[in-house]
Amino acid sequence: MVMKSELLNSVSLYGETSTSFLTLYDGFSYFKTNEGTLAYVSTTTAWVGAGDPLIVQGSPIEFLKQFQAAAKKMRKQAILLPASQGLALEARKEGFYAIQIGSEPWLSFESIPPKVHQQARKLLAKSAVVEAFDPLKISSQERSGLDLITQDWLDHRKTAPLSFLNKIEPWSFVTHKRYFRVIFHGAQVGYLAAVPIPAKKSWYLVDLIRAPDAPIGTTELLIIEATKQLKAQGAEQVTLGMSPFAPIEGDEKKLGLSAYWWFEKFYDRLNFLYGFKSLFQYKEKYNPVSWKPQFVIALDKKITVSMLWGIFRAIYPQGLLPVLASLVAKIPDKLSIRKFYSSLLSPRIVPRSPPQGLLEIIQNSKATLILIMANVLFFFTSTDSNFRLRPMMAEGFAFSGHHFFDQDLTFHGAVDLTMASFLHWNTFHLFFNVMTFLFLVTFLEFVAGSAIVAITYFTGVILANPFTLVILYPVIRYVFPHSFQSFFEERDVGSSLGIYSCIGMLACFTKYEMKIMSAFSVGVVGYAAITGSFLSLNHITAILIGYMMGKKYVATI
Amino acid sequence: MLAILLEDDQHSREVMISLLNSIGYESVLCASSIEEATYFFKQNSSQIRLIISAHTSNMGPDLPLSRLIIQNRALDLIPLLLVTNDSMPKKLPVFYNRLSRVDDLLSRPFGLNRLKASIEFAHHRRAELRSTLFYLGSNHGNELAEAVYAGSKQFHWKKVINTLSLQELVSQMKTVGFSFGGVIIDEDMVTDALVDWAKAFKKAHLGALTPICVLGRDPNKIKNMRTVADLFCEQNEYLNEMLSLISNRLFYQWEMRDQIKEIRELIKQQKFSSAKKMLSKVSGLDPERWEILELEGSLAMEEGRIEDAIERFESAMVTQPCSAFSHLSLLTLTGNDRVILERALSFCPHHPEILRIASNMNLEVPAAWS
């Protein structure tokens, strides 16, 4: 049994890593010999050591061998993380397996760049206050307020409860920590707790908690103030803690371990699970004086699945199900349609405000909903009992080259073209068009308004087919003469010309004009090639009509 | 320049900041509430040049933001734009409520062009309210008053306040507040104290937006005002034309600010067709503005249209006889014509280039000028 006071003494004398102090929290077992002490968590398959051991005398590697032997007696494997680079390199020499899993940034007050200071100053300019505080001296109301912020922060993150060295216990060992908070318009909006690294005269800014609606600059202000005040109290540097899967540099990268390829993919691609990249970039903006690699050391020739499972259970003691549940809970946020649409929008146009709530969504998509209802209504009145377009309706109103050249190009022509757009061949045809209405035309209406949708839709509906006919007439007559007759007799119904025209207009409001235009055009060409239908190229005409209208409109605004 | 922005949506906010940055509002403070806006107004009132609100709480009939701005006199000159989703903004009651203080409604979606047009319109609306003229002098007070009260449609002036001394002028300005839009000064009233006051006045935001016209073209009397007066007029010229010139300077201050600079830059880079295109747009707004005439003269000179160039520079000097650039250009175009040189010497007696030309032509330069 190791007394906490004894441990505290060991940490003070020998704790050289940022996580040393955190091993004083509850939940750890301690492996102690004359050479040193190592905090660890015992899981079903492994003893997971928490960081570097506190070595009193002798070789750390010899100590780790004793730890490994003790774990083996209990039929457990032994692993430790996060370990310092020095220990990892020594471990490798002994044949143990060590791999870098992240990096830890170390800051000094002087190294923080002006841009970050500016962010903090902007918040101060808005009358925010940042101050050190003692949790034992603040009122119970203020303390409850901070607890509430912590709970909101945890709820907002939607993660399963963390353990091991990731516990949030801001009020443990209060007298040894330093605290800072930001007060904005009379309310506490964020706080920071720093733990000492006594042997290094440094501090680890371990808990950086802000209210979900805290103003921009809150965390920057906390970090700058903490770094400044801790420096005034004699600290040499502070650390923000490890950034998992941070980019690997230097000699370690040259080893070319296959695991590092995977880590790079996790860093780039798995940010929907955990913000590996954003966390690294956030810490990087403070312009750290150094990034110290952090390792996992498997006390064996290789790292095994049991060891990895041990690490998982050490961090997530409640098991796999809560973790999966938390991932599922994040899906609505990650799949936020609003965020997705905002990410597509052009940075040069201020769109209409996104609708809040169902009523506003309906109000802001009037034109689309009316068009959908009109299409559905016409569908039910123009189809037979099998929901197929009645031949009489197709004969009378479907567009064809044959029919078009019999018309005079007046109002009646326009009416017929419009009528054709409200007819659909079958249920699938209607369904497909309604879906594109809902996802694409609605988006245009949210961004640009009902009038734009209506004008663009009907322009596409009226002009796309005649223009296509005029453009393709000489091409088909002279290049594909055998298709000439069928081209003229081909019939077209459906709202897709209006929809494609809206897509062309929509492209002008996004960052991806050419990609959208190309994607839909290639799709049309592909469809035309598969079906052998020249007239279906009218969709390209429609999208171009919408695009040109869009370019003109956007240039005026 | 500093702009205050109230906008809830993050994407819209970022785009607006970017657009504002691109048209010269280097600093944009974002307020998330009326309370925050109040704080910004208190702390930065002398630096704010534009307020844009897309905040939903300002859309109601009470318009708390506009009431807040009305209460802060330091913001009297600052245009206020209200951003709406409504494509028919004139239907909004605010447009008919002249006390609302909103200068223009900007309906989404919009980009740079509409934003600029809205800001220009807002500046015009602010300028329109500045319908009082100050006159410092004793010779033309009645004539000016008659011209203004005659209700001419050439300009927007509604009132003239006559003052007989600098102290009276300054004191009356404080009383009238931001509603004065121009100052006319008799050349006989130009003193060192007045010049010092005018220089300080022009450095302030109000002064930068307020045209100063000197009545008179006696080189000895007006020379100290050449860097602060916006234009100079003959005492016996048609007053209506003069009042119209001052009115245009007030109205188009914002548009001209960057355009003129840009056109000069284009000419310097020898991009004459772009310069010409841009110049044709701005000259339609204020064709008699001496800066515009000078630019037209420069372009004509570059294109070899000597007669046109001479005519333009001469026209520029009608309202700005102290511009060394016009004098030097005319000297170049006329091959250092003696009469033109003497005129240049009288209005720009210390300009080194003009002195050099005079010396080369063996023209006697008064010792005081050398």
* Last-in-domain residue among B75, B110, B128: B128
Whether residue A20 is contained in a domain is answered as yes
The number of distinct structural domains making up chain B is 3
B51 located within any domain:
yes
Pair A221, A330 in one domain:
no
Q: Is residue B13 part of a domain?
A: yes
DSSP labels, B204-232: SHHHHHS-EEEE---HHHHGGGTTT-SEE
**Neighboring chain A residues of B108 at a CB cutoff of 8 Å:** 350-353, 449
Question: Domain limits at B348?
Answer: 264-360
**What pLDDT does residue A62 have?**
93
**Residue-level pLDDT at B208:** 87
**Strands, E, within chain B: which ranges?**
2-6, 27-30, 48-53, 80-84, 104-107, 132-136, 159-163, 180-186, 212-215, 231-233
Residues A44 and A146 occupy one common structural domain: no
Counting the structural domains of chain A, the total is: 3
Per CB-CB distance under 8 Å, the chain B contacts of A126 are 36, 39-40
| B308 and B331 share one domain | yes
Neighboring chain B residues of A447 at a CB cutoff of 8 Å: 109
User: Would B258 be classed as within a structural domain?
Assistant: no
Cβ contacts of A352 on chain B, cutoff 8 Å: 85, 108-109
Bridge-based pairing of strands B80-84 and B104-107 is parallel
Distances (CA, A) of A143 to A22, A128, A149, A171, B292: 22, 19, 10, 10, 66
Type and span of the H or E element at A231:
helix A218-232
pLDDT of residue B94: 56
Chain A residues with CB-CB distance to B under 8 A? 122, 125-127, 185, 215, 342, 345-354, 364, 447-449, 451, 509, 554-557
CB A187 within 8 A of CB B35: no
- Of the candidates B14, B35, B114, which has its C-beta nearest A185's C-beta? B35
Predicted pLDDT of residue A463: 92
Q: How far is it, in rounded angstroms, from Cα B240 to Cα B244? A: 6
Are A401 and A495 in a shared domain?
Answer: yes
pLDDT at A359: 82
Query: Distance from CA of residue A352 to its chain's centroid?
Result: 24
Q: Show residues of chain A in contact with B26, CB under 8 Å.
A: none
The angle at the Cα of B187, spanning B182 to B188, to the nearest 5 degrees, equals 125
Nearest to A347 among B18, B87, B115 (CB): B18
Last residue of a domain, one of A334, A353, A369: A334
Are residue B141 and residue B123 in the same domain, yes or no? Answer: no
Strand partners, A129: A183
Residue A318 has what DSSP assignment?
A: T
Determine whether A446 is exposed, middle or buried from the number of CB atoms within 10 Å of its CB (0-12, 13-18, 19+).
buried
Total residue count of chain A as it appears in this document: 557
Q: Where are the alpha helices (DSSP H) in A316-410?
A: 320-334, 337-344, 357-364, 366-382, 391-397, 401-406
For residue B174, the model assigns a pLDDT of: 87
In a domain, B259, yes or no: no
Residue A127 and residue A237 in one domain: yes
Instruction: Based on the fold, state whether residues B103 and B219 are members of the same structural domain.
Output: no
Residue A284 lies inside a defined structural domain of this protein: no
DSSP 3-state of A84: strand
Tell me how far apart the alpha carbons of residues B297 and B334 are, in angstroms, rounded to a whole number. Answer: 13
Q: Which of B9, B40, B111 sits opposite A557 (nearest CB)?
A: B111
Task: Give all strands of the β-sheet with B2-6 in edge-to-edge order.
Answer: B27-30, B2-6, B48-53, B80-84, B104-107
B240 plus B304 within the same structural domain = no
Instruction: Please say which residue of B128, B157, B177 terminates a domain.
Output: B128
Q: Indicate whether B365 belongs to any domain.
A: no
Of the candidates A26, A25, A22, A23, the residue with the CA atom closest to the CA atom of residue A39: A23
B119 and B11 assigned to the same domain: yes
Please identify, among B79, B108, B128, the residue that sits at the C-terminal boundary of a domain.
B128
Q: What is the spatial distance between Cα A364 and Cα A198, in angstroms, rounded to a whole number?
A: 60
> Which of A234, A173, A248 lies closest to A207 in space, CA to CA?
A173
Residue B308 CB contacts under 8 Å (≥ 6 apart), including other chains: B296, B297, B300
Residue with tokens 């409109």: A553
Cα–Cα distance measured from residue B2 to residue B183, given in angstroms and rounded to the nearest whole number: 27
Q: Are A401 and A490 in contact (CB under 8 A)?
A: yes
Q: Distance (Å, rounded) from C-alpha B302 to C-alpha B308?
A: 11
CB contact under 8 A, A352 and B43: no
- Interface probe for A, chosen from B9, B11, B12, B23 (most Cβ of A below 10 Å), is B11
CA dist B184 and B200 (Å) reads: 17
**Which of A185, A347, A556 has the CB atom closest to B15's CB atom?**
A347
Q: Is residue B314 part of a domain?
A: yes
Of A126, A447, A509, nearest to B36 by CB-CB distance is: A126
Question: Is A285 a member of any domain?
Answer: no
- Write the CA distances from B340 to A58, B276, B314, B347, B369, integer angstroms: 97, 27, 10, 11, 17
- B35 close contact with A: CB closer than 8 A: yes
Name the token pair of A304. Answer: 């095994």
B136 neighbors B184 (Cβ within 8 angstroms): yes
Q: What is the CA radius of gyration of chain B?
A: 23
Contacts of B81 (CB under 8 A, 6+ apart): B50, B51, B52, B53, B102, B103, B104, B105, B106, B118, B119, B122
The enclosing domain of B51 has a CATH number of 3.40.50.2300
B98, B38: one domain: yes
pLDDT of residue A66: 94
CA-to-CA distance for B95 and B116, rounded, in angstroms?
19
What is the model's pLDDT at position A225? 93
Same domain, A99 and A178: no
CA distance to partner chain B, nearest, from residue A156 (Å): 19
* Residue A358 forms part of a structural domain: yes
Residues B145, B161 within the same domain: yes
Q: Do B139 and B219 share a domain, yes or no?
A: yes
Per-residue pLDDT tens, chain A, 557 aa: give them.
567 788 888 888 888 999 999 999 988 999 999 899 999 999 999 999 999 999 988 999 999 999 999 999 999 999 999 999 999 999 999 999 999 999 999 999 988 999 899 889 889 988 899 999 999 999 988 999 999 999 888 887 767 677 888 888 899 899 999 999 999 988 999 999 999 998 889 999 999 999 988 988 999 999 999 999 999 999 989 999 999 999 888 888 888 888 888 888 888 888 777 788 889 999 999 999 999 999 999 999 888 888 989 998 898 888 887 777 777 666 665 556 667 778 889 999 998 887 777 888 888 889 999 999 999 999 999 988 888 988 888 888 888 887 777 665 555 667 777 888 899 999 999 999 999 999 899 999 999 989 999 999 999 999 999 899 889 988 888 888 888 888 888 888 899 999 999 999 999 999 999 999 999 999 999 999 998 888 899 999 999 999 999 999 999 99
Produce one character per residue of A411-445: b if its CB has 16 or more CB atoms within 10 Å, e if not. eebbebbebbbbbbbeeebbeebbebbeebbbbbb
How is residue B4 written in tokens? 């205050």
Tell me the per-residue pLDDT of B88-101, one tens digit each, with 9 for 90 and over: 555 556 555 555 68
Task: Please report the pLDDT score of residue A335 as a whole number.
Answer: 58
Q: Is residue A320 part of a domain?
A: yes
Do A417 and A462 contact (CB within 8 A), yes or no? Answer: yes
* B22 close to A (CB below 8 A): no
For residues B19 and B111, state if they share a domain.
Answer: yes
Question: Residue A131: which H helix or E strand, with range?
Answer: strand A128-133
Q: Which residue, among A232, A235, A297, has the nearest Cα to A47 in the 3D structure?
A: A297
A392 and A536 inside one domain:
yes
> What's the rounded Cα separation, in Å, for the pair A17 and A237?
12
The pLDDT value given to residue B90: 54
**Cα radius of gyration (chain A):** 33
Q: Which two tokens stand for residue B254?
A: 């914002």
Full residue range of the structural domain in which residue A194 is found: 107-243
CATH code of the domain containing A199: 3.40.630.30
Q: How confident is the prediction along chain B (370 residues), in pLDDT tens digits per residue?
A: 889 998 888 888 999 999 999 988 989 988 877 778 888 888 888 888 999 988 665 655 566 777 778 778 888 889 999 888 765 555 556 555 555 688 888 888 999 999 999 998 898 888 888 999 999 998 888 888 888 887 666 778 888 999 999 999 999 998 888 888 999 999 999 999 999 999 999 988 888 889 999 998 888 888 888 889 999 988 766 788 888 889 989 888 877 877 888 899 998 898 999 999 989 888 888 888 999 999 999 999 988 999 999 999 999 998 999 999 999 999 999 988 888 998 998 888 888 898 888 888 887 766 655 4
The distance from CA A94 to its chain's CA centroid, rounded to whole angstroms, is 41
Nearest-angstrom CA–CA distance, B155 and A354: 43
pLDDT at B51: 92
State whether residue A384 is helix, strand or coil.
Answer: coil
B149 and B242 co-located in one domain = yes
The residue whose two tokens read 């300028």 is: B127
Q: Say if residue A174 is in the same domain as residue A270.
A: no
The answer to whether residues A224 and A269 belong to one domain is no
- Output the pLDDT for position A408: 55
Residues A527 and A505 in one domain: yes
Please report the pLDDT score of residue B26 as a whole number: 87
Q: Is residue B197 part of a domain?
A: yes
Residue with tokens 């190309």: A518
Residues A153 and A83 in one domain: no
Q: Are residues A151 and A238 in the same domain?
A: yes
Please report how many Cα atoms fall inside a 13 Å half-sphere around the Cα of residue B361, on the Cβ side: 19
Q: Is residue B366 part of a domain?
A: no
* CB count in 10 Å sphere of residue A168: 15
A479: domain CATH number is 1.20.1540.10
Question: Do B17 and B96 belong to one domain?
Answer: yes
Task: Mutation target for A interface from B85, B88, B112, B118: give the one with most A CBs within 10 A.
Answer: B85
Q: Are residues B208 and B310 in the same domain?
A: no
The verdict on A33 and A134 lying in the same domain is: no
Any idea what the CATH number is for the domain that residue B285 is in?
1.25.40.10
